[in-house]
Chain A
Amino acid sequence: MRAYLSRRIFSAMAGSMLLVPPLVARADTPKRGGTLKFLVEPEPTSLVPIADTTGANVMISAKVTEGLFNYGLDFSLRPSLATGLQTSVDGKEMTFTLRQGVKWHDGQPFTSADVAFSIETLKKYHPRGKATFANVAEIRTPDDHTVVLVMSLPAPYLINALAGQESPIIPRHIYDGSNPLANPHNNAPIGTGPFVFKDWQRGNFILLERNPDYWDQPKPYLDRIIVRTIPDAAARSVALETGEVDIGGEYLVPLSDMGRLGSLPQLGIETQGYAYSPNVHRIEFNLDNPYFKNLPVRQAVAHAINKDILLRTVWYGFGVVTTGPIHPDVARFYTADVVKYAFEPSTAEKLLDEAGFRRGEDGVRFSVMHDPLPIGLMHMQTGEYIKQALGKVGIKVTLRSQDMAGYIKRVFTDRQFDFTNGAMTNGPDPTLGVQRFYWSKNFRPGVPFSNASHFSNPDVDRLLEAAQSEIDLHKRAEDFYGFQRIVVQELPDITPIAVKLFTIYNKKVKNHTLTADGIHCNLADVYIDS
């Protein structure tokens, strides 16, 4: 299989794709058997992330429903349901060779028709799928194991979006002719993956069992995976501590518990495995606000905020102080060569004075409301710091909290906000994850996670649009460098922290993080060392 692979995987885009051997287990030989207790929060709402890509859904899905490729820790392409890919020189035709002899969990053969159907479905219903497959003009299936995507324009980002968690390949015979959003198999998935869905008792557990007919024998090593949900944060920490659960990741336990949990001998912390969809923390302004529409005011805010304090107190060191909207882990497109805003409250005061916002008799220049994203504690705590820091330079900040539905409506639909803070996911490619917040054509009130600041800059638009279809990696990187420079100059948002998400695991669990998406991947390689 390996030889076959290295003959078949190649790319016309010189240097953009490497030949790599399949995943190799570290050190010891894996042991068969055992149960992995996997903790997620909140409980998934569906197990196939077609329309609802809630974090927990995405985290569990790929164990059952795979994608065309996996991605190594260095983002190198690794075969999964696809074994090879050829891209034409103009980037407008992508030919995927599919793995032979793969069967769905119900025994039906997996063919190119399933892939074509999945891409059509994702393009229509997936919240990022429309952008991912926007340029796909035609899907051809010349034979059962070949899929050809004919593009209206090159889509260099598409190749990064084919992991199981982002673009799941679903069985056509199960979904065809039905509304994919209402298909009962979203809750009882039939996939090709290493684990077969067995049972889901809501509010209690999800049971996945080993697929004895998995295409990548002798994997998987585990007998089964039990997915648990524990609604209370303190109880989640306890469950990890007592060994009631073995592994979990992302925003699972309060960061304030990490000192204690990290010191326990049986638990380990892994910060790799989140490069596939890294998070950047941002403080976003409403540019229609009478104060924040002035660039000097935004610059003053940038100078008044000490990013190191945020990193230390709110994020407990789980991150790095960063410079712009693209996460430094996205090394191919990140640049640090942008304007810097040092922590200088005096500069902030000067800028505000010059902009005409002098302190009143009570020492206040003006008052604004701040709405933190209602996920975890970090955003509320960031809000508390912002209130304190801006108070010192004469901007009175009032914090306002609401639940998710209220927040989405306020910020994205009603636009009744002054400024907000929250983490954004970069997605597998900046065109898919970053562009949406800064592209003027994505200023669309009513659409969550669109351009809420109402930022509009023709140069940014031009660079983002160029990067969408630029097949030369270096030119594409230059486009993104230029984009970062302008955004940091114009400050529709401040991006203080590049978040380091992490997996927390019992040390008996091995091989959980071998890919750029870590425990989001299919866990075929995981084994338990008793």
Chain B
Amino acid sequence: MALSRTGRVARRLRRTGLQAIPSVLGIVIFNFLLLQLAPGDAADVIAGASGAATAETMAALRAQLGLDHSMLHQLGAYLWNLAHLRLGISAHFNMPVGVLILQRLPNTLLLMITALLLALTFGIAAGAVMATFAGRWADRLLSILALLFYSVPGFWAGLTLIIIFSVRLQWLPSDGFTTVGADLTGIAYARDLLAHLVMPAVSLSLFFLAIYARLTRAAMLEVARQDFVRTAEAKGLSAFTVTVRHILRNALVPVSTVAGLHIGMLMGGSIVTETVFGWPGLGSLAYEAVFARDFNLLLAIVLLSAIVVIIANVLIDLLHTWLDPRVEAI
């Protein structure tokens, strides 16, 4: 049983991998063509930021960046490089794209995963409380909070947190990833990182937290009316066991489905959060890449994001089979 299950997981992963190739290729080509519609190129941006240019320096820049070739030639060259796992050189940062992205990816994953875990933990807990006490004051209060978190824009939440905790109370640093130049190690480093992580992770998670709370509440109320719940109650199980093992567990299927879809949204949302908090992640990198017309970099980030989303979807499928044995995900 165990062996065949592992075999099925492997088969599933292989199939997903094969399906991913054409999707990723399509994403790359589509984005490449889309980016061509943006007016101006990286040489224009460099000249614009430099505040000066001559015809010769523009030509030298375009030759250096490979922008002096036709669009199809550039696309062909890009795909050829990609096939050899070369992501090219960033025009804006003037360094290999692969190095640049690998520096930032762990930061963004840390922020995303922390935010997702925060949102899921507190969202599901709040949802469970709301469903259990549906219609009573605890439900009402949490509903108002959820509505508030849902409607507050991420950057506003971020700035408000900064004003409260950095400017007024001076408890948390307003910006960055770790204290630069502090040369911390071990526990001190982890604590420093955590202090920097709290506010961005919280402000990124609020919106999703609200969604999961509402969703958990609705799903639990729905499940609570099902026959098997009545059976469980009739068996004489305690109210807590029924709520957690029978109602909540079944309610988690829609929540986890939505959470899986949200991985992509989290990556998008991290652009704003990373900008507000100066968090050196992929989101702020993508933001800069757009304005710099740094297509090598932007395409690589899009590619990576697509891969992250594909992986997340596979993980969610696997999670579903665990939550609900009836689901034949493999």
Contacts and interface: CB of A to CB of B under 8 A. Distances in A.
A186 B52 CA distance: 19
B208 interface: no
B103 A127 contact: no
Contacts of B180: 37, 204-205, 207, 226, 228
Contacts of A402: 39
B48 interface: yes
Contact of B93 (A202, A224, A424): A202
B46 A52 contact: yes
Contact of B45 (A127, A234, A404): A404
Contacts of A224: 181
A94 to B, nearest CB: 23
Interface in B67-119: 89, 92-95, 100, 103-104
Interface stretch (A12-20, A141-149, A237-245): A237-245
B216 interface: no
A130 interface: yes
Nearest to B163: A238
B317 interface: no
B165 to A, nearest CB: 11
Interface residues of B, number: 60
A179 interface: yes
Contacts of A405: 38-42, 44-45, 48, 291-293
A408 interface: yes
Contact of A447 (B55, B100, B287): B55
Contacts of A181: 60-61, 64
Contact of A235 (B45, B51, B53, B174): B174
B173 A244 contact: yes
B162 A53 contact: no
B277 interface: yes
Indicate the member of B49, B58, B92, B181 with the most A CB atoms within 10 Å. B49
Contact of B94 (A49, A186, A404, A436): A186
Nearest to A56: B49
A226 B291 contact: no
A201 B54 CA distance: 31
Interface string A437-459: 00000001011111000000000
B275 interface: yes
Contacts of A424: 51
B175 A230 contact: yes
A254 B89 CA distance: 33
Given A53-B51, A127-B50, A226 B58 contact: no
B19 interface: no
A226 B181 contact: yes
Interface stretch (B24-32, B134-142, B217-225, B278-286): B278-286
A407 B48 contact: yes
Given A224-B181, A238-B167, A406 B38 contact: yes
A202 B39 contact: no
Interface in A195-231: 201-205, 207, 224, 226, 228-231
Contact of A182 (B53, B64, B277): B64
Contacts of A444: 55
Contact of B40 (A131, A187, A409, A447): A409
Interface in A165-195: 179, 181-182, 184, 186-187
Contacts of A323: none
Contact of A126 (B49, B57, B167): B57
Contacts of B52: 53, 127-128, 425, 427, 436, 448-449
Nearest to B47: A448
Given A52-B50, A231-B275, A409-B40, A447 B58 contact: yes
A426 B112 CA distance: 45
A28 interface: no
A513 interface: no
A127 B175 contact: no
Contact of B44 (A35, A54, A413): A413
A447 B163 CA distance: 44
Nearest to A448: B47
Contacts of A127: 47, 50-54, 57
Contacts of B291: 403-405
A482 interface: no
A404 B280 contact: no
Contact of B170 (A230, A231, A242, A448): A242
A103 interface: no
Contact of A404 (B48, B57, B64): B48
A232 B278 contact: yes
Contacts of B60: 51, 124-125, 181
Given A181-B60, A202-B93, A238-B167, A408 B40 contact: yes
A403 B40 CA distance: 9
Contacts of A186: 94
B176 interface: yes
Contacts of A55: 49, 51
Contacts of A70: none
Contacts of B288: 42-43
Interface in A37-61: 37, 42-43, 45-46, 49, 51-55
A468 to B, nearest CB: 15
A54 B50 contact: yes
Contacts of B53: 127, 447-450
A239 B49 contact: no
Interface string A229-268: 1111011001101101000000000000000000000000
A45 B52 CA distance: 16
Indicate the member of A128, A413, A447 with the most B CB atoms within 10 Å. A447
B182 to A, nearest CB: 10
A239 B175 contact: yes
B46 A45 contact: yes
A410 B39 CA distance: 8
A201 B290 CA distance: 20
B328 interface: no
Nearest to B49: A54
21 contacts: A51-B46, A51-B57, A54-B50, A130-B54, A181-B64, A182-B94, A201-B280, A202-B93, A202-B104, A203-B103, A224-B181, A231-B287, A235-B276, A238-B174, A241-B167, A402-B39, A404-B49, A405-B40, A408-B40, A408-B48, A450-B53
Given A55-B51, A130-B56, A226-B181, 7 more contacts: A46-B94, A53-B50, A232-B276, A234-B159, A235-B278, A404-B291, A446-B58
